[in-house]
Amino acid sequence: MNVGVAHSEVNPNTRVMNSRGMWLTYALGVGMLHIVLLSIPFFSVPVAWTLTNVIHNLGMYVFLHAVKGTPFETPDQGRARLLTHWEQLDYGVQFTSSRKFFTISPIILYFLTSFYTKYDPTHFILNTASLLTVLIPKLPQLHGVRIFGINKY
């Protein structure tokens, strides 16, 4: 029995990324992170861009691919408890607009970072590794797959 539940979704986690203004808020948050990092006096521009990219991708990995479950009480018999936020997004339907946005945004940030670091090999390796850690879990073939049993429970 869901007494006091104020939403009409079975699992609000499935639609939160499609809510009004979410994409703009996300982009502004990444922009603010970059401005804060640029304002630190001993960071050069390439270091600030690389840190922006790495912090963004680390946050995206943790919040979308590592944390499982939902903060809401759901009447789905505990199915959402076993899924990451990315797997719950849009009820698991692949290639929706929100999934495309959250797949393209780290790629765009990666291109910007690579350009502003002038393709320095050290920065390039760090940024590429960081990008791969958020793109590989987003592949449709890895939906619900736990590699080596990591994050199984």
Measured in degrees and rounded to the nearest 5, phi and psi for residue 37 equal -65, -35
The answer to whether residue 150 is domain-embedded is: no
The answer to whether residue 74 is domain-embedded is: yes
- Nearest Cα to 98, choosing from 32, 14, 9, 10? 14
The answer to whether residue 89 is domain-embedded is: yes
Q: How far is 7 from 127, CA to CA, in rounded Å?
A: 39
The answer to whether residue 64 is domain-embedded is: yes
The answer to whether residue 111 is domain-embedded is: yes
pLDDT tens-digit readout, 95-150: 999 999 999 999 999 999 999 999 999 999 999 999 999 999 999 898 877 777 77
- Nearest Cα to 53, choosing from 120, 129, 119? 129
Question: Number of folded domains in the chain?
Answer: 1
The answer to whether residue 5 is domain-embedded is: no
Torsion sign over Cα 10, 13, 15, 20: positive
pLDDT tens-digit readout, 38-90: 999 999 999 999 999 999 999 999 999 888 877 777 776 667 778 888 888 88
Distance of alpha carbon 81 from the chain centroid: 18
Residue 17 has pLDDT above 90, yes or no: no
Q: How far is 142 from 82, CA to CA, in rounded Å?
A: 15
Residue 22 has pLDDT above 70, yes or no: yes
Residue-number span of the structural domain to which 83 is assigned: 15-144
Predicted local confidence at residue 48, as pLDDT = 97
The answer to whether residue 4 is domain-embedded is: no
The answer to whether residue 110 is domain-embedded is: yes
